[in-house]
Structure 1
């Protein structure tokens, strides 16, 4: 009947929505791996730049030692800073290679397939500056898990209607009454005639208890589906709010850290110049170089976090998987469901 059809169609749509959820998750994983790769490449460039600066400082201390203007202590301190930075390079290079491998596997390719394509460094992709940080609640409905929960409620409602319909009388007699049942012996035994008539009769009046129990079972399933839907919507709301708050915080941090990095770069340059002229001690040079490296790495890390939280917002909103065409879904196989 109609209720059975509606339940089946809703279940099919729920399965299609679950497929969409998997597709969005895979797309998000690809994006996150790509962001990690580009972010690590940026950190590697920062390390190389700082290594170059530290090598210049080391050379400067060696010249000053030869001129009798400093001690070997400053030379060894400069060498320590230089080698510590150099030690970071293999770690970052390993992380870059592993990120390339992860991307290749996620896109169905051998681990080394993207080595050439992704060898050149480019900046971490950033979300648009004018990205809206407030969204209508209705956008949550495009999340595949919310869609799936909605359809499970729809299917449960249809099953309740189906169980209710089964309580209605269905007057069909499937027994037989022929000459063999009208023999003299059969006519004197009324119960035998009744048993012949009822042998294949199925009327709700005879199993109403079981059918009422089925109604209660389906009603309980509906209540559970509704609670699951409520929990899914609340989780979706939390995911979106968390991503929006993180994006807002990352934007503010990036602004302040960029200013700090610029100031740290200027301070490091001035410190080297003043040290060359013998106006400050070497410890000040070391401190400014460390601060410069730390602020540059912080800027890169916040850029990575900003892009990462943008991907999380994409995932929290259901990504690119959208479909309001329920009639089309009801006739499609799950394998033909809309793809992100």
Structure 2
């Protein structure tokens, strides 16, 4: 169990427990049995990374520049950073309660008292007016630790905001990388389509030449043209996907699309998925996930809130005082006779409040129990996500290996069927099928390549890669 969890359990048992209904779920127990490591295959035998900028393993300068810009300009990240500052100021406000409160007053007052309210004959009404200058102080002495408990809660919430910022950064980096991979997939498919269009155009010429020579029918020509035009028809859709993906990247980078087209329109190969196979998934990587860290600090904050609720049963010691001067004439304000002061230490204790404090404490305990459940659920989801990402990545690698063989055989099938057709030994229908299979299988291989890269990115995201508390 981590040091933070141990610390707030000490706080929890330091105050007398309150009776409440039985908790549900885990029964208020923190599940802290994260698997020490995953070792499905030789691909996963992890150590803590020296450099957590996982996107650099793609060896793609364009992606590196996009992520560097995104972490500075993405609006979700910027808003998360502002929430950190808000939480920090709230922490400083809570700590300010350790200091006394001072009020400076300067005024003039005039009053008239009735002389007809006394017993017997009425007397002359009295009128008084005077100037006064005073400094009032109120200071709550933290004898019972109320201010300390509130400060501890605000510090935990401040740490939550830092973890949420780290989570936002992890998501931003992963989304930029995933969107970039999608862009390169669409561009690769567009390039394959244009290459096939050129090849199919030559085959149309072959069928037309054979028809003119009386060696083939018009049916062969129309079938060749159907394949040719159907492939050309895929280009507008791919171009639209490329355009919309660049738009999505521009939003992630907090800029307008026109600033992105020149940088991204050039078609470049997809990164090598085999060069970025992770070399480890230890428990420490999973434990630094921002949502796990945030859940842990939320649990600590709720434990502090329970401590605050219990301390409301204790008295409050306040030191009140004032010092000042008052005089009928402003020139006499600073004479010895005009000096005034009061000192009033006060111990106040609310002995009955209609059971509201007890109900508040019970609700605070249930809130803490709920945060325990949330922590346990977050850990379980984290383990499940990492396990799923590893499985997806492994499956994608095997799929790529098999599809690579399928594409190679599809290419040979097209070459053989076209050669046999030109020699008049095979019908053109075999060429049509070979063309369609070759194009489909190449696109499938590109898609599988993209899925492997996205699974790799998702694995780094599931491990909280790229950002942790040291980045802040």
TM-score w.r.t. structure 2 length? Answer: 0.60
Q: Give the alignment partner of residue 267 of structure 2, picking from 121, 127, 137.
A: 121
Q: How far, CA to CA, are the matches of 1:2 and 1:317 in structure 2?
A: 34
- Kept in 2, the 8 Å contact 1:17–1:145? The answer is yes
Partner of 1:62: 208
Instruction: Please point out which of 185, 196, 216 is paired with 1:39.
Output: 185
Q: 1:208/1:6 Cα in 2 relative to 1: closer, same or farther (>3 Å)? A: farther
3-state secondary structure, aligned to 1:260: helix
Aligned to 2:424: 278
Cα shift readout 1:49-80 (whole Å, capped 9, x = no counterpart): 11111111111111111111111111111111
Structure 1 gaps of 5+ residues are 175-199, 325-337
Q: Structure 2 CA distance, aligned partners of 1:172 and 1:93?
A: 72
Output the CA distance in 1 between the equivalents of 2:235 and 2:417.
Answer: 25
Structure 2, unpaired ranges of 5+: 1-146, 321-345
Asked if the contact 1:247/1:309 (under 8 Å) is kept, the reply is: yes
- Matching residue of 1:83: 229
Q: Does residue 258 in structure 1 map to residue 383 in structure 2? A: no
What displacement does 1:163 show? Answer: 2.8
Quote the Cα distance in structure 2 between the aligned partners of 1:304 and 1:92. Answer: 15
Contact preservation (8 Å) 1:143, 1:317: yes
Query: In the aligned structure 2, how far is the partner of 1:169 from the partner of 1:37?
Result: 64
- From 195, 208, 212, the counterpart of 1:49: 195
Instruction: Give the corresponding residue for 1:321.
Output: 467
RMSD: 2.2
Deviations 1:136-188 (A, max 9, x none): 233222221111111011111122223333434567899xxxxxxxxxxxxxx
**Residues 18, 148 of structure 1: 8 Å contact kept:** yes
Could you say if the C-alpha distance between residues 171 and 309 of structure 1 is closer, same or farther in structure 2, counting changes exceeding 3 Å?
closer
Note if 1:220 corresponds to 2:220: no
Residues of 2 paired with 1:45 and 1:136: CA distance? Answer: 40
Structure with higher RCO (Cα < 8 A, 6+ apart): 1
Alignment of 1:285-296 (within 5 A): 285-296=431-442
Structure 1 or 2: larger helix share? 1
SS of residue in 2 equivalent to 1:117: helix
Matched, 1:95 2:262: no
1:299 and 2:460 aligned: no
CA gap of 1:67–1:156, structure 2 versus 1, over 3 A, is same
Deviation at 1:118, TM superposition (A): 1.3
Q: Is the 8 A contact 1:172 1:203 kept in 2?
A: no
Checking the alignment, whether the CA contact within 8 Å between 1:126 and 1:306 is kept in structure 2 is: no
CA apart distance, 1:282: 0.6
Name the CA distance, whole Å, in 2 between partners of 1:155 and 1:167.
20
Aligned residues: 301
Greater Cα offset, 146-155 or 313-322: 313-322
Q: Of Structure 1 and Structure 2, which has the larger fraction of its residues in strand?
A: 2
- Structure 1 distance, partners of 2:293, 2:416, is 59
Q: 1:147 is matched with which residue? A: 293
C-alpha contact (below 8 Å) 1:133/1:248 kept by paired residues: no
Q: Structure 1 residue 227: deviation in Å?
A: 0.9
- Corresponding residue of 1:12: 158
Residues in 1 aligned to 2:354 and 2:295: alpha-carbon distance in whole angstroms: 31
Moved more, 41-50 or 90-99: 90-99
1:324-335 → structure 2 map (5 Å cutoff): none
